[in-house]
Chain A
């Protein structure tokens, strides 16, 4: 009986821990569950938050661009070679676009979430995910984004987006996601 109680206590505690944890910060998510991401993006895009920033100079990226699928800001994933944290020329451009936007909006912050593919050991991949996110962070900082606007998280190989076990899937999983909090 004592055993059952202790196990229930553990289960309860685990639930409490989960309950206290902050919500996933993902594209388009505010304080709702991650599952609502898709609908949030389309509905809240036209929300009143946008208006408060107003239009900026010609060609400048506005807050609204965050929800515009045609905006260069919609590219939010950087990809890597196996066991590598070097950033490709193409992804450098992606970073530049975001860096320009973030420099103009110091009130907005991002999470750089690093990931690895399933190959190699889990702990090493956790470190590799962080190394990738930090490599991206360096480029953001060089382009004038404040360190306070960036948070680094690594999930290693624990959160693959592609579940197959081939190079096509691995390429998609070796990534850094640029996540805007609140957008």
Chain B
């Protein structure tokens, strides 16, 4: 297995006093399994160096997905920048199925024109061709959008490169003081921005479906309370601060409600909160621990963790707009310990943390067939979150006991790792698609 490390240096263009993290992405498995594709370096018309290496961003996106195996630049026999210049035999000779060519032009008004074409080498046809107007800070995003178009054309599935991840980091400074940060980055780990910082623990970030808000748990007042923050304006609001635990907030698929865990009535129970009326509806009633709710994509049921059977397992309960409909039904029967579910966007797969002997691993259960499969093999994996197209699961794991993020394809084939140079990173949450 070839290991390739791409070190991504993040820009620290804002808050200069804040020490900035460096995220490293390491493809740990599956590099050679994908479809062969060539992403030819984009030509550049303008002064100085090209503003962004767009082809590199695209190739890295495609490789990370596990579906593609981009050809190394040194193995390319020619470097055309438009379809007219492409000689298909050059590409058949190196066994690629598809070629991406393109160019970037500096425009007089300071913008950039990015053109690209995706060609089928064997049929000799153009699969896609676009001209996109972009500006300097948006060029990485433009590259991710191009990756999304290529991914869709070739796999038939929507790409999820032009999306974000949120996560929590924890680091200790020279005075041994711990700092917790809630950060947001592009799906490839670039453009990290801290949106909330505390000396007290932060937990459980979750995106609103429109990608504008994050809801999370903060101990900033020395107890777990739920906050909601607009990531663009920075506006923040305390949403739940009842007696006891206020935690595990998750947006409903329509963004109008939250499911959450409160122990105000004595022990942890699942509630829904109508964000418009601020009304709470209690969903579970048991003397056991009920927590970690997540929504089914239709918004009509919740899956949650409960130890009502003696040890944590996943249960499902139908919910209406004002409370539960019917009773909880147990979903997991493989092993003695299953918790913290995530449901794939199509509702078919249930990802969870599964304990196998002394290891906590990410497992997936097919809700249609019941087929159960363990995807990872580390000591302590946590917090699975599906990419919005359902093809990958991002989760928290560790490397030499340091918290890192990793992603695995739902079939277990492709794996990658995102780690901070120092400190821990954990509790990843993948955003929905951006709404333009």
Measured CB to CB, the residues of A under 8 A from B are 3-4, 6-11, 13-14, 17-18, 20-22, 24, 83, 118-124, 126-128, 130-131, 134, 152-156, 158-159, 165
**B221 lies within 8 A of A122 (CB):** no
Whether A121 contacts B339 in the complex (CB less than 8 A), given A10-B234, A11-B15, A11-B197, comes out as: yes
Residue from A4, A20, A124, A153 within 8 A of B223 (CB atoms): A153
Most chain A CB atoms below 10 A, which of B222, B248, B380, B401: B222
Q: Is B155 an interface residue (CB 8 A)?
A: no
A and B contact pairs by CB, cutoff 8 A, 17 listed: A7-B193, A7-B195, A17-B220, A18-B220, A21-B220, A21-B221, A22-B221, A83-B311, A121-B305, A121-B360, A121-B382, A123-B248, A124-B312, A130-B267, A130-B268, A153-B222, A156-B203
**A120 to chain B: which residues have CB within 8 Å?**
312, 337, 339, 353, 355, 360
Measured CB to CB, the residues of B under 8 A from A are 14-15, 193-201, 203-204, 218-224, 229, 232-234, 236, 244-245, 247-248, 261, 263, 267-268, 289, 291-292, 305, 307, 311-312, 337, 339-340, 353, 355, 360, 379-380, 382-383, 401, 427
**A18 to chain B: which residues have CB within 8 Å?**
198-200, 220
**B268 to chain A: which residues have CB within 8 Å?**
127, 130
**A159 to chain B: which residues have CB within 8 Å?**
201
Cα-based distance from A10 to B382 in the complex (angstroms): 28
The smallest beta-carbon distance between B264 and chain A, in angstroms, is 11
Residue from B203, B220, B222, B353 within 8 A of A126 (CB atoms): B203
The smallest beta-carbon distance between A1 and chain B, in angstroms, is 10
**B224 lies within 8 A of A124 (CB):** no
The smallest beta-carbon distance between A175 and chain B, in angstroms, is 16
Whether A123 contacts B234 in the complex (CB less than 8 A), given A130-B245, A131-B267, A154-B245, comes out as: no
**B14 lies within 8 A of A7 (CB):** yes
The smallest beta-carbon distance between A55 and chain B, in angstroms, is 35
The smallest beta-carbon distance between B244 and chain A, in angstroms, is 7
**B196 lies within 8 A of A10 (CB):** yes
**B221 to chain A: which residues have CB within 8 Å?**
17, 20-22
Whether A118 contacts B380 in the complex (CB less than 8 A), given A127-B245, A127-B263, A134-B267, comes out as: yes
**A130 lies within 8 A of B244 (CB):** yes
**A17 lies within 8 A of B198 (CB):** yes
Residue from B196, B203, B220, B360 within 8 A of A119 (CB atoms): B360
**A8 to chain B: which residues have CB within 8 Å?**
15
The smallest beta-carbon distance between B276 and chain A, in angstroms, is 24
Residue from B218, B219, B222, B224 within 8 A of A22 (CB atoms): B222
Residue from B220, B223, B236, B382 within 8 A of A122 (CB atoms): B382
For residue B341, which residue of chain A has the nearest CB?
A121
**A131 lies within 8 A of B289 (CB):** yes
For residue B170, which residue of chain A has the nearest CB?
A158
**B222 to chain A: which residues have CB within 8 Å?**
21-22, 24, 153
**B340 lies within 8 A of A121 (CB):** yes
The smallest beta-carbon distance between B359 and chain A, in angstroms, is 9
Residue from B198, B234, B245 within 8 A of A6 (CB atoms): B234
**A126 lies within 8 A of B245 (CB):** yes
**B224 to chain A: which residues have CB within 8 Å?**
126, 154, 156
Most chain B CB atoms below 10 A, which of A6, A9, A123, A154: A123
Cα-based distance from A10 to B203 in the complex (angstroms): 18
For residue B204, which residue of chain A has the nearest CB?
A123
Cα-based distance from A13 to B227 in the complex (angstroms): 13
**B307 to chain A: which residues have CB within 8 Å?**
83, 124
